[in-house]
A and B are shown apart, each in its own frame.
Chain A
Amino acid sequence: MATKAKTQSLEDKLKRLEEVASLLDRGEASIDEQLSMYEEGMRLAQECRTYLEEAELKVRRLSGETDEVDED
């Protein structure tokens, strides 16, 4: 399902973002490596942010009774 795949990829992105951020925090990499990690991290964060901002609720429906009585 498309929704699921998208959610999955958000999870993946968040996971990778955490990796990148903790690598950056450790500060062991060269400045070039740090810069490319930073670029990747910022891109991931921005993508996640955009995805979150644009997220809209999708509701799946299990079939139930059709002759349903309205409640007031």
Chain B
Amino acid sequence: MSIFVPMQDQAVSVSELTYVIKGLLEEGIGDVLVTGEISNFKQHSSGHRYFTLKDADAQIGAVMWRTRSLPFLPVDGMRVIVRGRLSVYPPQGKYQIDVSAMRPEGVGDLHRAFEQLREALRARGLFDADRKAQLPRRPRSVGIATSQTGAALQDMLSTINRRYPLLDVVFRPTLVQGDGAAEDIARAIAELDAAKLDVIIIGRGGGSLEDLWSFNTEVVAMAIVNARTPIISAVGHETDVTISDFVADARAETPTAAAVLVTPITIDDLIEALDDRMLGMTTVVRTRIDDMLETAASFVDGRAARRVTERIHLRQQRIDDLVTRTSRGIRHQTHLLQQRIEHTVQYLTSLHPLAPLRRGYAVIERNGAVLGPNDCVHAGDTLVVQRYTESSTVRVSAVGQPTILPPHNDYDGNESKDTIA
């Protein structure tokens, strides 16, 4: 029945048979997921690990190459679950599991592995407070490494959006559980670190210890240690504690709490500050304007004017007092002065050249010029006789000797000369 029993009596070589077996096992069985107890665990100097998986009745060899990450330190007797491929090793005629991933199976084993790694990392000083970075006081950018489909992402984004939507958020979709999750988290940390953001959040929602296991791995711990950007670990619920929490620069109890940590100043804070500013500016200007209005109002309602008037009245009163006190003497002198002025005016009036006309004398003109004492008059001259009451033009018919003489020859006046009787 078997294809491996030759039709003829012709033997096959060991190699031929082995390769048939190899093909049969590797293709017929292939991928396996096996639970068992570790025994004979050996890590070769090359970094490859060799051990045996066994249970009460059977055992199978296993190899885990150096390139496969091992999230904990296996010890003999630990129950584990391994994922891998069944393979055959022809030189020894052995079949074995080529392990791609391994994790402790039981909760007790997980705790043991957790404690192991925690103590190892603590001994290396990775939890020391002095190597933890301060979270930025006002982050402008944040990198988030978490599952694209998890509630954690939505919690964080909605919290950030509510508190400070100006935050520059860079999301790196990340495997947070299952095979390869630890490595992907480590890569995500490195990538976000290279993006030079202000702070990084790594995390996921709650789950079993197994679900959170990726965050309990050395590869993640070392990625956190090597990152220059401050990192917040936000894994699971309040009570969940992971290695990444110890190594990270800050631990948030939940992803939402991490989102609060990266938004210490909220939009509402800023708006409130702006409102304060606006109020402050308004107060400054209003006070200034009120002062000016007050000044202006004091003019408008006459307060300032009254003050000025009062001052003027006061001075006027003082002047009046002075005037009253000196007025008697002044009035007397004024009277004397007035008398003198009147006399002078009378005197001056009497000296007016035309004053004699009132007394009946006349002024004689010839050709528009007044005749003086020495002007001669000839018969036939036309003269204008100016009297007080009228002016008349006359023709001289004859010129003779004067019939009346002035009292003195040297008397300088024209009233008694050049007159026509």
Contacts and interface: CB of A to CB of B under 8 A. Distances in A.
A3 B289 CA distance: 40
A57 B170 contact: no
B191 interface: yes
B13 to A, nearest CB: 42
B367 to A, nearest CB: 80
A68 B284 contact: no
Given A49-B274, A65-B175, A7 B280 contact: no
B162 to A, nearest CB: 9
B100 interface: no
Nearest to A18: B277
Interface in B133-167: 140, 143, 147-150, 157, 160-161, 165-167
A45 B21 CA distance: 80
Interface of B: 140, 143, 147-150, 157, 160-161, 165-178, 180-181, 184, 188, 191-192, 195, 204-205, 207, 211, 267, 270-271, 274-275, 277-278, 280-282, 284-285, 288-289, 292
A62 B194 CA distance: 11
Interface centre among A41, A56, A68, A72 (most CB of B within 10 A): A68
Nearest to B208: A72
A62 B171 contact: yes
A35 B285 contact: yes
Nearest to B278: A45
A41 B278 CA distance: 8
Interface centre among A41, A62, A63 (most CB of B within 10 A): A62
Nearest to B267: A52
Contacts of B177: 69, 71
12 contacts: A21-B277, A45-B281, A52-B270, A57-B161, A58-B168, A61-B170, A62-B171, A62-B195, A64-B148, A68-B148, A69-B177, A71-B205
B274 A52 contact: yes
Q: List 9 A-B pairs, minimum CB-CB distance, nearest first.
A: A64-B173, A57-B161, A62-B172, A57-B165, A55-B165, A69-B178, A38-B285, A59-B169, A60-B170
Interface string A30-72: 0100110010011001101100110111111111111011111
Contact of B192 (A49, A57, A62, A71): A62
Interface string A13-30: 000010011001101000
Q: Which size class do A's interface residues fall under?
A: 35 or more
Given A31-B289, A55-B166, A71-B147, A61 B271 contact: no
B288 A34 contact: yes
Given A24-B285, A57-B160, A57-B167, A65 B173 contact: yes
B410 to A, nearest CB: 86
Contacts of B173: 61-66, 68
Given A68-B147, A71-B149, A52 B195 contact: no
A17 to B, nearest CB: 6
Contacts of A71: 147, 149-150, 176-177, 204-205, 207, 211
